[in-house]
Structure 1
Amino acid sequence: MVEYVVRILTKNAFPPVDVQLLWAKECFRSACRAADAYYGITDRMLKLIAKRGSHIRSQIITACRALFAAHYKFNRTSTSKAAIKANAELAASLCDEARFSYKDIQNQTGYAENTIFNDIRRAVIFKTKKAIGAIFQSHFNPYPLEAVALEFTTLQFCTIEWSTGQFVQTKFEEKEVGEAYITHLNDIRRWEELDKIVVRNIRAKWFKRAIGPLKLAAADGPSGTHIDEKREDMLRQELAGRTGETDSEDENEGAQAEP
């Protein structure tokens, strides 16, 4: 159900049950078409799908945990009261106004541009040439706000796991983090509204930065071209006399006459 994973990352990371079931049906039909084998999906199958959590969400929280403590400089070795207190204060500071998301945490500049985001993307979505972001490039260029909101949510969750000053792993469940996801998504969309063109360019940069090490050809077309400068000038002159609303010539014009 790769299509389902794409929707989780680009539409809604925590869809309500009715949407989950709708997506499951649509994805099942797509899989049948691709396999040229047509089966009906049963209520039991739908219930099994709805009960299971998203693999991509679990992969992202796992990647976040692996990167989090070292990136934000939590003390992972000392059990002294001073170290525990410092860790707890750091966690509280990071959670305050989602400071963890800023490139400069102290001055809160570079919203959503902390370098950990790129590390998370390369660890999961663009891990290999067979990863979902590499295969479905068009869905991730520019990088979707919904995926960013999920990253915000997982990072906030990681700070909570350190809130006592020591790491306490907690289950990453929808009922616990779904509301936080909506809040972050609203914030990110509000940020986008401030200047959609600039934000779109930033999101395109995020995609290029994350996929860069894979050295993949662009998915939208060939890397070369058959149109040199001379040919470009000729095509420009040809287009100059057209509106695009009618055929450029009679269907028989230019065809080789029969002997």
Structure 2
Amino acid sequence: MVKLITKRGSHIWSQIITVCRTLFAPHYRFNRTSTSTASINANRDLSEKLANGAAYHYKDVDTGTGYGENSILADIRKEKIFKKKTSLGVVFASHFDPYPLPTLALEFTVLQHCNSEFSTGKFVAAEFSEKEMGKNYLTHLNDLTHWAAINKTVVDKLRHKWFTRAMGSFAIGPSDAGTHLTEAHEDALRAELAGRTGDTDSESENA
């Protein structure tokens, strides 16, 4: 997964940043248009609060609980990584269950980038820097690796849950799969297999 993200390079970074920008301000209640002193101060204070300990990815940013469970992450996945059948998470579904730590690190990094755009109190679109983003990405990946090791069983279950929710209607479970085999077909196949060992190709020719 690290290689997949790295191979996509700045292309996937910039696309997810674009998606995140549309969601970020309304989700965390930043005021993107007002130029009043009160709004600027409120934006700056909120940005500092979210930056402290990377609070932006917690489910509850005030208490710092629900590691990696902020609902904006699910929204980002829905809008980009699992948006359609040709999206990265759907095409490579087997690589996303449980939800990969490298992908989480990518999402955390993008949130950090979007939060930095409000650090002065006014929205200023930050220039995309692959070098800076890469540095932040590795820090988040390190944090996530330590987090996952604290209680692997629970964390794996959380990551599986995030994957299944992200897949949504794209997921195909056993109950959705049909069959071409009737009972008569199964009886015929059972009789055919009973007379074979499976050891040689010639069995089918001499049957």
Normalising by structure 1, report the TM-score.
0.66
Alignment of 1:155-234 (within 5 A): 155-212=111-168, 214-218=169-173, 223-224=177-178
Contact 2:105 2:141 in 1 (8 A): yes
**1:32 equivalent in structure 2:** none
1:215 Cα deviation from its structure 2 partner? 3.7
Aligned amino acid, residue 73 of structure 1: R
Q: Describe the shift of the 1:190–1:12 C-alpha distance in structure 2 as closer, same or farther (beyond 3 A).
A: farther
User: Alignment RMSD, CA only?
Assistant: 3.1
**1:33 equivalent in structure 2:** none
Contact 1:14 1:178 in 2 (8 A): no
**1:42 equivalent in structure 2:** none
2:80 to 124, 144, 152: 124
1:216 Cα deviation from its structure 2 partner? 3.8
Aligned counterparts of 1:123 and 1:215: Cα–Cα separation in 2: 14
Number of residues paired by the alignment? 192
**1:11 equivalent in structure 2:** 2
- In the alignment, structure 1 residue 109 sits paired with structure 2 residue 65: yes
Aligned counterparts of 1:112 and 1:174: Cα–Cα separation in 2: 23
Aligned counterparts of 1:210 and 1:86: Cα–Cα separation in 2: 33
1:217 Cα deviation from its structure 2 partner? 2.0
1:132 Cα deviation from its structure 2 partner? 1.7
Aligned counterparts of 2:146 and 2:4: Cα–Cα separation in 1: 18
Contact 1:161 1:169 in 2 (8 A): yes
Q: Describe the shift of the 1:175–1:81 C-alpha distance in structure 2 as closer, same or farther (beyond 3 A).
A: same
Q: Which stretches in structure 1 are left out of the alignment for 5+ residues? A: 1-9, 21-51, 232-247
Aligned counterparts of 1:14 and 1:204: Cα–Cα separation in 2: 20
Normalising by structure 2, report the TM-score.
0.82
Q: Which stretches in structure 2 are left out of the alignment for 5+ residues? A: 187-195
Aligned counterparts of 1:251 and 1:130: Cα–Cα separation in 2: 41
Identity over aligned pairs, percent:
50
Alignment of 1:1-259 (within 5 A): 10-12=1-3, 15=6, 53-212=9-168, 214-218=169-173, 223-224=177-178
**2:193 equivalent in structure 1:** none
Q: Describe the shift of the 1:67–1:13 C-alpha distance in structure 2 as closer, same or farther (beyond 3 A).
A: farther
Aligned counterparts of 1:182 and 1:250: Cα–Cα separation in 2: 50
Aligned amino acid, residue 177 of structure 1: M
1:76 Cα deviation from its structure 2 partner? 2.0
Question: Which structure has the highest helix share of the two?
Answer: 2
| 1:122-163 superposed Cα distances (whole Å, 9 cap, x missing partner) | 111111122121122101111110010011111011111100
Aligned amino acid, residue 29 of structure 2: K
